[in-house]
Structure 1
Protein backbone atom coordinates (compact mmCIF):
# COMPACT_ATOMS: atom_id res chain seq x y z
CA UNK A 1 0.00 0.00 0.00
CA UNK A 2 1.38 3.38 -1.00
CA UNK A 3 1.92 6.16 1.53
CA UNK A 4 -0.86 8.80 1.73
CA UNK A 5 -0.25 11.93 -0.35
CA UNK A 6 -1.97 15.31 -0.66
CA UNK A 7 -5.10 15.39 -2.78
CA UNK A 8 -3.72 18.16 -5.02
CA UNK A 9 -0.62 16.08 -5.75
CA UNK A 10 -2.77 13.05 -6.65
CA UNK A 11 -4.85 15.22 -8.98
CA UNK A 12 -1.68 16.43 -10.71
CA UNK A 13 -0.75 12.77 -11.28
CA UNK A 14 -4.20 11.98 -12.69
CA UNK A 15 -4.68 15.02 -14.92
CA UNK A 16 -1.17 16.14 -15.73
CA UNK A 17 -2.20 19.67 -14.73
CA UNK A 18 -0.23 22.20 -12.70
CA UNK A 19 -0.30 22.13 -8.88
CA UNK A 20 -2.01 25.55 -8.89
CA UNK A 21 -4.81 24.37 -11.19
CA UNK A 22 -5.25 21.22 -9.12
CA UNK A 23 -5.77 23.36 -6.03
CA UNK A 24 -8.32 25.55 -7.87
CA UNK A 25 -10.29 22.48 -8.94
CA UNK A 26 -10.29 21.13 -5.39
CA UNK A 27 -11.15 24.41 -3.66
CA UNK A 28 -13.90 24.98 -6.22
CA UNK A 29 -15.63 21.78 -5.05
CA UNK A 30 -15.07 19.90 -8.30
CA UNK A 31 -13.19 16.90 -6.87
CA UNK A 32 -14.68 13.81 -5.24
CA UNK A 33 -12.90 11.24 -3.10
CA UNK A 34 -14.78 7.94 -2.99
CA UNK A 35 -17.88 9.77 -4.18
CA UNK A 36 -17.77 12.62 -1.65
CA UNK A 37 -16.76 16.18 -2.45
CA UNK A 38 -13.52 17.26 -0.76
CA UNK A 39 -12.37 20.87 -1.15
CA UNK A 40 -9.17 20.78 0.91
CA UNK A 41 -6.00 20.45 -1.24
CA UNK A 42 -4.05 19.13 1.77
CA UNK A 43 -6.49 16.24 2.32
CA UNK A 44 -4.51 12.97 2.37
CA UNK A 45 -5.46 10.11 0.05
CA UNK A 46 -3.98 6.68 -0.62
CA UNK A 47 -6.09 4.07 -2.42
CA UNK A 48 -9.34 6.08 -2.60
CA UNK A 49 -10.98 6.83 -5.93
CA UNK A 50 -10.34 10.45 -6.95
CA UNK A 51 -12.60 11.98 -9.62
CA UNK A 52 -12.89 15.37 -11.31
CA UNK A 53 -16.44 16.56 -12.06
CA UNK A 54 -17.07 16.65 -15.83
CA UNK A 55 -18.28 20.27 -15.56
CA UNK A 56 -15.20 21.38 -13.62
CA UNK A 57 -13.97 24.90 -14.29
CA UNK A 58 -11.03 27.02 -13.20
CA UNK A 59 -13.25 30.08 -12.72
CA UNK A 60 -12.62 31.88 -9.40
CA UNK A 61 -14.87 30.99 -6.47
CA UNK A 62 -17.85 33.35 -6.41
CA UNK A 63 -18.00 35.53 -3.26
CA UNK A 64 -20.89 34.76 -0.92
CA UNK A 65 -23.06 36.40 1.71
CA UNK A 66 -24.40 34.47 4.68
CA UNK A 67 -27.53 35.49 6.57
CA UNK A 68 -27.72 34.48 10.23
CA UNK A 69 -30.59 34.63 12.68
CA UNK A 70 -28.68 35.72 15.77
CA UNK A 71 -30.38 33.87 18.64
CA UNK A 72 -31.81 35.17 21.89
CA UNK A 73 -30.20 35.96 24.24
CA UNK A 74 -27.07 37.35 22.61
CA UNK A 75 -25.44 40.58 23.79
CA UNK A 76 -23.77 42.10 20.73
CA UNK A 77 -20.44 43.52 21.92
CA UNK A 78 -18.58 43.68 18.60
CA UNK A 79 -19.38 43.71 14.88
CA UNK A 80 -18.07 40.12 14.68
CA UNK A 81 -20.62 38.81 17.19
CA UNK A 82 -22.28 35.72 15.78
CA UNK A 83 -19.58 34.85 13.25
CA UNK A 84 -18.61 31.79 15.28
CA UNK A 85 -22.15 30.45 14.86
CA UNK A 86 -21.69 30.15 11.09
CA UNK A 87 -20.41 26.64 10.45
CA UNK A 88 -21.18 24.01 7.79
CA UNK A 89 -23.27 22.17 10.38
CA UNK A 90 -25.47 25.18 11.22
CA UNK A 91 -26.69 25.79 7.68
CA UNK A 92 -30.47 25.96 7.71
CA UNK A 93 -32.69 23.44 5.97
CA UNK A 94 -34.61 26.53 4.82
CA UNK A 95 -31.70 27.45 2.52
CA UNK A 96 -33.02 27.03 -1.03
CA UNK A 97 -30.17 28.89 -2.76
CA UNK A 98 -28.70 25.67 -4.26
CA UNK A 99 -25.22 27.04 -3.54
CA UNK A 100 -22.69 24.26 -2.94
CA UNK A 101 -21.10 24.76 0.45
CA UNK A 102 -17.30 25.19 0.28
CA UNK A 103 -14.69 25.68 3.00
CA UNK A 104 -13.45 28.79 1.17
CA UNK A 105 -16.84 30.42 1.74
CA UNK A 106 -16.04 30.73 5.45
CA UNK A 107 -12.83 32.74 4.98
CA UNK A 108 -12.68 36.52 4.81
CA UNK A 109 -16.25 37.04 6.03
CA UNK A 110 -16.90 40.59 7.18
CA UNK A 111 -19.82 41.87 9.27
CA UNK A 112 -22.16 44.42 7.75
CA UNK A 113 -25.02 46.56 9.09
CA UNK A 114 -24.43 45.87 12.82
CA UNK A 115 -27.37 45.12 15.07
CA UNK A 116 -28.57 47.37 17.84
CA UNK A 117 -26.98 46.42 21.19
CA UNK A 118 -28.79 43.51 22.89
CA UNK A 119 -30.88 42.93 19.77
CA UNK A 120 -31.39 39.61 18.03
CA UNK A 121 -32.37 38.68 14.51
CA UNK A 122 -30.99 39.10 11.02
CA UNK A 123 -27.28 39.75 10.52
CA UNK A 124 -25.21 39.46 7.35
CA UNK A 125 -21.60 38.38 6.87
CA UNK A 126 -19.97 38.59 3.46
CA UNK A 127 -16.76 38.37 1.44
CA UNK A 128 -18.46 40.10 -1.51
CA UNK A 129 -17.22 43.68 -1.94
CA UNK A 130 -20.47 44.64 -3.70
CA UNK A 131 -22.49 43.76 -0.59
CA UNK A 132 -20.01 45.60 1.65
CA UNK A 133 -20.38 48.72 -0.49
CA UNK A 134 -24.17 48.50 -0.47
CA UNK A 135 -24.60 47.87 3.27
CA UNK A 136 -21.66 49.85 4.66
CA UNK A 137 -20.79 52.64 2.25
CA UNK A 138 -24.41 53.20 1.14
CA UNK A 139 -26.01 52.51 4.53
CA UNK A 140 -28.15 55.65 4.34
CA UNK A 141 -30.07 54.15 1.42
CA UNK A 142 -30.93 50.80 2.99
CA UNK A 143 -33.85 50.54 5.35
CA UNK A 144 -33.73 48.16 8.31
CA UNK A 145 -36.80 46.82 10.06
CA UNK A 146 -37.02 45.95 13.75
CA UNK A 147 -39.81 44.51 15.86
CA UNK A 148 -39.59 46.00 19.37
CA UNK A 149 -41.33 44.50 22.38
CA UNK A 150 -41.95 47.00 25.18
CA UNK A 151 -42.59 46.79 28.90
CA UNK A 152 -45.37 49.35 28.49
CA UNK A 153 -48.66 49.80 26.66
CA UNK A 154 -48.06 52.26 23.81
CA UNK A 155 -50.36 55.23 23.25
CA UNK A 156 -51.17 56.84 19.90
CA UNK A 157 -49.55 60.04 21.16
CA UNK A 158 -46.25 58.22 21.82
CA UNK A 159 -46.27 56.70 18.32
CA UNK A 160 -46.88 60.16 16.89
CA UNK A 161 -43.90 61.50 18.84
CA UNK A 162 -41.66 58.69 17.59
CA UNK A 163 -42.47 59.63 13.99
CA UNK A 164 -41.44 63.25 14.48
CA UNK A 165 -37.88 64.53 13.84
CA UNK A 166 -35.61 63.71 16.79
CA UNK A 167 -32.06 64.50 17.91
CA UNK A 168 -29.61 62.21 19.68
CA UNK A 169 -26.60 63.74 21.44
CA UNK A 170 -27.44 67.00 19.69
CA UNK A 171 -27.34 65.53 16.17
CA UNK A 172 -30.46 65.01 14.02
CA UNK A 173 -31.54 61.42 13.43
CA UNK A 174 -32.74 60.20 10.07
CA UNK A 175 -36.53 60.09 10.03
CA UNK A 176 -37.95 56.73 11.13
CA UNK A 177 -41.27 55.09 10.36
CA UNK A 178 -42.80 53.69 13.52
CA UNK A 179 -46.09 51.77 13.59
CA UNK A 180 -48.05 49.70 16.09
CA UNK A 181 -48.18 45.91 15.87
CA UNK A 182 -49.94 45.34 19.20
CA UNK A 183 -50.51 47.15 22.49
CA UNK A 184 -46.86 46.67 23.53
CA UNK A 185 -45.13 45.97 20.22
CA UNK A 186 -43.82 48.43 17.65
CA UNK A 187 -42.35 48.16 14.19
CA UNK A 188 -39.39 50.46 13.45
CA UNK A 189 -38.28 51.04 9.85
CA UNK A 190 -35.13 53.18 9.78
CA UNK A 191 -31.99 53.86 7.76
CA UNK A 192 -28.42 53.84 9.08
CA UNK A 193 -29.48 53.64 12.75
CA UNK A 194 -26.95 54.97 15.21
CA UNK A 195 -25.85 52.68 18.08
CA UNK A 196 -28.52 52.72 20.77
CA UNK A 197 -30.93 54.74 18.63
CA UNK A 198 -34.06 52.63 19.09
CA UNK A 199 -33.68 52.43 22.86
CA UNK A 200 -32.98 56.17 22.99
CA UNK A 201 -36.07 56.97 20.93
CA UNK A 202 -38.29 54.79 23.09
CA UNK A 203 -36.96 56.19 26.35
CA UNK A 204 -37.41 59.72 24.99
CA UNK A 205 -41.17 59.18 24.87
CA UNK A 206 -41.39 57.26 28.15
CA UNK A 207 -41.21 53.69 26.86
CA UNK A 208 -39.00 50.86 28.14
CA UNK A 209 -37.60 48.30 25.67
CA UNK A 210 -37.91 44.60 26.54
CA UNK A 211 -36.53 43.01 23.36
CA UNK A 212 -35.54 44.00 19.82
CA UNK A 213 -35.37 41.77 16.76
CA UNK A 214 -34.24 42.82 13.29
CA UNK A 215 -36.31 41.09 10.62
CA UNK A 216 -35.21 42.85 7.44
CA UNK A 217 -32.19 44.56 5.85
CA UNK A 218 -32.99 46.38 2.63
CA UNK A 219 -35.09 44.06 0.48
CA UNK A 220 -33.95 40.89 2.29
CA UNK A 221 -36.14 39.59 5.11
CA UNK A 222 -35.26 36.92 7.65
CA UNK A 223 -38.27 34.81 6.71
CA UNK A 224 -38.46 31.40 8.40
CA UNK A 225 -34.75 31.21 9.24
CA UNK A 226 -34.53 29.48 12.67
CA UNK A 227 -32.50 31.07 15.51
CA UNK A 228 -28.83 30.11 15.37
CA UNK A 229 -29.05 29.02 11.73
CA UNK A 230 -27.81 30.67 8.54
CA UNK A 231 -28.51 30.58 4.83
CA UNK A 232 -26.82 31.91 1.73
CA UNK A 233 -28.01 35.10 0.08
CA UNK A 234 -29.18 33.79 -3.33
CA UNK A 235 -26.98 34.55 -6.33
CA UNK A 236 -27.84 37.88 -7.94
CA UNK A 237 -29.32 39.40 -4.75
CA UNK A 238 -27.64 42.48 -3.29
CA UNK A 239 -30.19 43.72 -0.74
Structure 2
Protein backbone atom coordinates (compact mmCIF):
# COMPACT_ATOMS: atom_id res chain seq x y z
CA UNK A 1 0.00 0.00 0.00
CA UNK A 2 1.20 3.50 -0.82
CA UNK A 3 2.34 5.29 2.33
CA UNK A 4 3.94 8.46 0.94
CA UNK A 5 2.09 11.72 0.38
CA UNK A 6 2.82 11.55 -3.35
CA UNK A 7 -0.37 11.91 -5.42
CA UNK A 8 -1.76 8.70 -6.93
CA UNK A 9 -4.69 8.07 -9.26
CA UNK A 10 -8.00 8.04 -7.45
CA UNK A 11 -8.89 4.53 -8.63
CA UNK A 12 -5.63 3.18 -7.19
CA UNK A 13 -6.21 4.99 -3.90
CA UNK A 14 -9.72 3.56 -3.61
CA UNK A 15 -8.39 0.05 -4.25
CA UNK A 16 -5.66 0.50 -1.64
CA UNK A 17 -8.27 1.57 0.90
CA UNK A 18 -10.22 -1.61 0.18
CA UNK A 19 -13.26 0.32 -1.05
CA UNK A 20 -13.44 -1.42 -4.42
CA UNK A 21 -11.31 -2.56 -7.35
CA UNK A 22 -9.73 -0.08 -9.76
CA UNK A 23 -12.21 -1.08 -12.46
CA UNK A 24 -15.14 -0.55 -10.10
CA UNK A 25 -13.70 2.82 -9.07
CA UNK A 26 -13.61 3.94 -12.70
CA UNK A 27 -17.22 2.81 -13.15
CA UNK A 28 -18.32 4.69 -10.04
CA UNK A 29 -16.43 7.84 -11.04
CA UNK A 30 -18.11 7.72 -14.45
CA UNK A 31 -21.50 7.38 -12.73
CA UNK A 32 -20.78 10.43 -10.54
CA UNK A 33 -20.82 8.36 -7.36
CA UNK A 34 -17.40 9.54 -6.07
CA UNK A 35 -16.47 12.90 -4.57
CA UNK A 36 -13.07 14.27 -3.60
CA UNK A 37 -13.13 17.02 -0.99
CA UNK A 38 -16.86 17.45 -1.60
CA UNK A 39 -16.59 17.83 -5.39
CA UNK A 40 -17.55 15.23 -8.04
CA UNK A 41 -14.39 13.39 -9.06
CA UNK A 42 -13.09 13.45 -12.60
CA UNK A 43 -11.64 10.40 -14.34
CA UNK A 44 -7.88 10.18 -13.88
CA UNK A 45 -7.69 12.70 -11.03
CA UNK A 46 -4.85 12.21 -8.56
CA UNK A 47 -5.21 12.40 -4.78
CA UNK A 48 -3.07 12.33 -1.65
CA UNK A 49 -3.87 10.70 1.73
CA UNK A 50 -4.96 14.16 2.93
CA UNK A 51 -7.81 14.31 0.39
CA UNK A 52 -11.26 13.21 1.55
CA UNK A 53 -12.80 10.55 -0.68
CA UNK A 54 -16.57 9.98 -0.39
CA UNK A 55 -18.65 7.31 -2.12
CA UNK A 56 -22.38 7.57 -2.76
CA UNK A 57 -24.56 4.89 -1.13
CA UNK A 58 -25.76 3.91 -4.61
CA UNK A 59 -22.29 2.58 -5.30
CA UNK A 60 -22.34 0.46 -2.13
CA UNK A 61 -25.77 -0.88 -3.09
CA UNK A 62 -24.44 -1.79 -6.54
CA UNK A 63 -21.47 -3.51 -4.91
CA UNK A 64 -23.64 -5.44 -2.44
CA UNK A 65 -25.50 -7.06 -5.33
CA UNK A 66 -22.29 -8.62 -6.67
CA UNK A 67 -21.83 -12.29 -5.92
CA UNK A 68 -18.92 -14.54 -5.07
CA UNK A 69 -19.26 -18.23 -5.84
CA UNK A 70 -17.48 -21.23 -4.36
CA UNK A 71 -17.17 -24.00 -6.95
CA UNK A 72 -15.88 -27.55 -6.58
CA UNK A 73 -14.07 -27.75 -9.91
CA UNK A 74 -13.85 -31.24 -11.37
CA UNK A 75 -11.04 -32.42 -13.62
CA UNK A 76 -11.19 -31.41 -17.27
CA UNK A 77 -12.35 -27.80 -16.85
CA UNK A 78 -10.07 -24.78 -17.20
CA UNK A 79 -10.24 -21.94 -14.69
CA UNK A 80 -10.47 -19.06 -17.14
CA UNK A 81 -11.16 -18.74 -20.85
CA UNK A 82 -11.96 -21.83 -22.91
CA UNK A 83 -8.82 -23.36 -24.41
CA UNK A 84 -7.95 -26.41 -26.52
CA UNK A 85 -11.57 -27.50 -26.62
CA UNK A 86 -11.93 -27.51 -22.82
CA UNK A 87 -14.81 -25.63 -21.22
CA UNK A 88 -14.25 -22.91 -18.61
CA UNK A 89 -15.35 -23.69 -15.06
CA UNK A 90 -17.91 -20.85 -15.12
CA UNK A 91 -20.01 -23.07 -17.43
CA UNK A 92 -20.83 -25.13 -14.33
CA UNK A 93 -22.57 -22.18 -12.67
CA UNK A 94 -26.25 -22.67 -13.43
CA UNK A 95 -29.43 -23.54 -11.50
CA UNK A 96 -29.03 -27.30 -12.04
CA UNK A 97 -25.60 -27.44 -10.37
CA UNK A 98 -26.44 -25.14 -7.43
CA UNK A 99 -25.79 -27.16 -4.25
CA UNK A 100 -29.08 -28.01 -2.55
CA UNK A 101 -27.58 -27.52 0.90
CA UNK A 102 -26.32 -23.98 0.20
CA UNK A 103 -27.26 -22.00 3.36
CA UNK A 104 -27.29 -18.69 1.44
CA UNK A 105 -30.60 -16.96 0.77
CA UNK A 106 -29.32 -15.89 -2.67
CA UNK A 107 -31.10 -17.22 -5.72
CA UNK A 108 -29.48 -17.67 -9.09
CA UNK A 109 -30.18 -15.13 -11.84
CA UNK A 110 -28.40 -14.71 -15.21
CA UNK A 111 -26.99 -11.22 -14.36
CA UNK A 112 -24.83 -12.94 -11.73
CA UNK A 113 -22.78 -14.41 -14.59
CA UNK A 114 -21.90 -10.95 -15.93
CA UNK A 115 -18.27 -10.20 -15.08
CA UNK A 116 -17.98 -13.41 -13.02
CA UNK A 117 -14.28 -14.29 -13.15
CA UNK A 118 -11.93 -16.70 -11.36
CA UNK A 119 -9.91 -15.21 -8.50
CA UNK A 120 -6.91 -17.46 -9.00
CA UNK A 121 -6.40 -20.53 -11.14
CA UNK A 122 -6.68 -24.28 -10.71
CA UNK A 123 -5.05 -26.43 -13.40
CA UNK A 124 -7.19 -28.47 -15.78
CA UNK A 125 -5.98 -31.69 -14.15
CA UNK A 126 -6.53 -30.41 -10.59
CA UNK A 127 -9.77 -30.40 -8.63
CA UNK A 128 -11.28 -28.63 -5.65
CA UNK A 129 -12.03 -25.12 -4.44
CA UNK A 130 -12.23 -22.43 -7.12
CA UNK A 131 -13.51 -18.91 -6.35
CA UNK A 132 -15.44 -17.00 -9.02
CA UNK A 133 -16.40 -13.43 -8.22
CA UNK A 134 -17.95 -10.23 -9.55
CA UNK A 135 -16.45 -8.33 -6.61
CA UNK A 136 -13.11 -6.63 -7.26
CA UNK A 137 -12.41 -6.43 -3.53
CA UNK A 138 -12.50 -10.21 -3.26
CA UNK A 139 -10.28 -10.63 -6.33
CA UNK A 140 -7.72 -8.20 -4.96
CA UNK A 141 -7.75 -9.96 -1.56
CA UNK A 142 -7.07 -13.34 -3.15
CA UNK A 143 -4.78 -12.55 -6.09
CA UNK A 144 -3.61 -8.95 -5.61
CA UNK A 145 0.13 -8.38 -5.87
CA UNK A 146 0.37 -7.96 -2.09
CA UNK A 147 -1.85 -10.95 -1.24
CA UNK A 148 -0.48 -13.51 1.23
CA UNK A 149 -3.69 -15.56 1.42
CA UNK A 150 -3.10 -19.17 2.47
CA UNK A 151 -4.20 -21.89 0.04
CA UNK A 152 -4.28 -25.51 1.20
CA UNK A 153 -3.96 -28.59 -1.02
CA UNK A 154 -4.01 -32.37 -0.65
CA UNK A 155 -1.50 -33.85 -3.08
CA UNK A 156 -1.20 -37.56 -3.92
CA UNK A 157 2.32 -38.39 -5.08
CA UNK A 158 4.48 -41.15 -6.53
CA UNK A 159 8.26 -41.35 -6.12
CA UNK A 160 10.55 -41.59 -9.14
CA UNK A 161 13.70 -40.18 -7.62
CA UNK A 162 17.06 -42.00 -7.11
CA UNK A 163 17.26 -45.55 -5.71
CA UNK A 164 16.57 -45.61 -1.98
CA UNK A 165 17.09 -47.80 1.05
CA UNK A 166 13.77 -48.90 2.52
CA UNK A 167 13.31 -48.79 6.35
CA UNK A 168 14.06 -52.56 6.50
CA UNK A 169 17.44 -51.90 4.88
CA UNK A 170 16.88 -53.38 1.43
CA UNK A 171 17.70 -51.33 -1.67
CA UNK A 172 14.62 -50.13 -3.56
CA UNK A 173 15.26 -49.74 -7.30
CA UNK A 174 13.30 -46.88 -8.81
CA UNK A 175 12.13 -47.15 -12.41
CA UNK A 176 11.07 -43.83 -13.97
CA UNK A 177 8.42 -45.70 -15.94
CA UNK A 178 7.14 -47.49 -12.84
CA UNK A 179 7.42 -45.09 -9.86
CA UNK A 180 6.69 -46.08 -6.26
CA UNK A 181 3.02 -45.34 -5.53
CA UNK A 182 2.50 -47.05 -2.13
CA UNK A 183 4.01 -45.98 1.20
CA UNK A 184 5.91 -43.17 -0.52
CA UNK A 185 6.52 -41.56 2.86
CA UNK A 186 8.74 -44.51 3.93
CA UNK A 187 11.28 -43.99 1.14
CA UNK A 188 11.07 -40.25 0.52
CA UNK A 189 14.21 -38.55 1.90
CA UNK A 190 13.51 -36.20 4.86
CA UNK A 191 16.01 -33.74 3.36
CA UNK A 192 13.81 -33.47 0.27
CA UNK A 193 10.76 -32.76 2.42
CA UNK A 194 12.74 -29.92 4.01
CA UNK A 195 13.50 -28.56 0.52
CA UNK A 196 9.80 -28.58 -0.35
CA UNK A 197 9.18 -26.45 2.72
CA UNK A 198 11.90 -23.94 1.84
CA UNK A 199 14.78 -23.85 -0.58
CA UNK A 200 13.32 -24.36 -4.05
CA UNK A 201 13.17 -21.84 -6.89
CA UNK A 202 10.95 -21.53 -9.95
CA UNK A 203 11.63 -19.38 -13.01
CA UNK A 204 14.81 -18.11 -11.36
CA UNK A 205 12.96 -16.80 -8.29
CA UNK A 206 13.18 -18.35 -4.80
CA UNK A 207 9.84 -19.57 -3.50
CA UNK A 208 8.30 -18.35 -0.27
CA UNK A 209 8.35 -20.81 2.65
CA UNK A 210 5.57 -23.40 2.46
CA UNK A 211 4.01 -25.75 5.00
CA UNK A 212 4.39 -29.32 3.73
CA UNK A 213 3.61 -32.44 5.77
CA UNK A 214 2.53 -36.02 5.17
CA UNK A 215 -1.24 -36.44 5.38
CA UNK A 216 -0.94 -40.21 4.91
CA UNK A 217 1.72 -42.54 3.35
CA UNK A 218 0.84 -41.48 -0.22
CA UNK A 219 -0.45 -37.94 0.25
CA UNK A 220 1.14 -34.61 1.19
CA UNK A 221 -0.60 -31.52 2.55
CA UNK A 222 0.68 -28.23 1.12
CA UNK A 223 -0.13 -24.74 2.43
CA UNK A 224 1.12 -21.98 0.11
CA UNK A 225 0.92 -18.19 0.20
CA UNK A 226 1.73 -17.72 -3.50
CA UNK A 227 0.43 -19.24 -6.70
CA UNK A 228 2.90 -19.64 -9.54
CA UNK A 229 1.75 -21.61 -12.58
CA UNK A 230 1.66 -25.35 -11.80
CA UNK A 231 3.70 -24.56 -8.70
CA UNK A 232 3.12 -27.71 -6.66
CA UNK A 233 3.69 -30.05 -9.61
CA UNK A 234 6.93 -28.28 -10.50
CA UNK A 235 8.10 -28.24 -6.87
CA UNK A 236 7.50 -31.96 -6.59
CA UNK A 237 9.39 -32.68 -9.81
CA UNK A 238 12.49 -31.04 -8.33
CA UNK A 239 12.58 -33.54 -5.44
CA UNK A 240 11.78 -36.73 -7.37
CA UNK A 241 8.02 -36.78 -6.84
CA UNK A 242 5.28 -37.01 -9.43
CA UNK A 243 1.85 -35.57 -8.64
CA UNK A 244 -0.89 -38.07 -9.42
CA UNK A 245 -3.74 -36.14 -7.81
CA UNK A 246 -4.17 -32.57 -6.54
CA UNK A 247 -7.14 -31.11 -4.67
CA UNK A 248 -7.46 -27.59 -3.20
CA UNK A 249 -9.47 -27.73 0.02
CA UNK A 250 -9.10 -24.24 1.55
CA UNK A 251 -8.48 -20.59 0.68
CA UNK A 252 -7.98 -18.41 3.74
CA UNK A 253 -10.82 -19.29 6.14
CA UNK A 254 -13.12 -20.65 3.42
CA UNK A 255 -13.10 -24.44 3.09
CA UNK A 256 -14.39 -26.74 0.37
CA UNK A 257 -16.09 -28.91 2.97
CA UNK A 258 -18.60 -31.42 1.60
CA UNK A 259 -19.53 -29.42 -1.50
CA UNK A 260 -19.88 -32.10 -4.23
CA UNK A 261 -17.69 -32.05 -7.34
CA UNK A 262 -19.25 -30.04 -10.17
CA UNK A 263 -21.52 -28.08 -7.82
CA UNK A 264 -21.33 -24.57 -6.38
CA UNK A 265 -22.62 -22.35 -3.60
CA UNK A 266 -22.64 -18.65 -2.77
CA UNK A 267 -20.09 -17.12 -0.42
CA UNK A 268 -22.21 -16.27 2.62
CA UNK A 269 -22.81 -12.67 3.66
CA UNK A 270 -20.93 -13.22 6.92
CA UNK A 271 -18.25 -15.51 5.45
CA UNK A 272 -14.80 -13.99 5.17
CA UNK A 273 -11.60 -15.18 3.54
TM-score under structure 1 normalisation? 0.69
| Corresponding residue for residue 112 of structure 1 | 119
Q: Deviations over 1:100-147 (max 9, x none)?
A: 333322222011111145211110111112111211215631011111
Q: Secondary structure at the match of 1:140?
A: coil
Residues 82-231 of structure 1: pairs in structure 2 closer than 5 A? 82-137=89-144, 140-152=147-159, 153-154=184-185, 155=188, 156-231=190-265
- Cα distance, 1:190 vs structure 2: 0.2
Structure 2 residue ranges without an equivalent (≥5): 1-60, 83-87, 160-183
Residues 237, 77 of structure 1: CA spacing in aligned structure 2 closer, same or farther, 3 A cutoff?
Answer: closer
| Corresponding residue for residue 38 of structure 1 | none
Cα distance in 1 for partners of 2:80, 2:139 equals 17
Q: Deviations over 1:33-57 (max 9, x none)?
A: xxxxxxxxxxxxxxxxxxxxxxxxx
Larger CA deviation: 150-159 vs 102-111? 150-159
Structure 1 residue ranges without an equivalent (≥5): 1-58
Cα distance in 1 for partners of 2:149, 2:122 equals 14
2:68 matched to 1:65? yes
- Cα distance, 1:184 vs structure 2: 1.1
Q: Secondary structure at the match of 1:213?
A: strand
| Corresponding residue for residue 74 of structure 1 | 76
Cα distance in 2 for partners of 1:75, 1:83 equals 9
Q: Secondary structure at the match of 1:179?
A: strand
CA contact (8 A) 2:79 2:89 kept: no
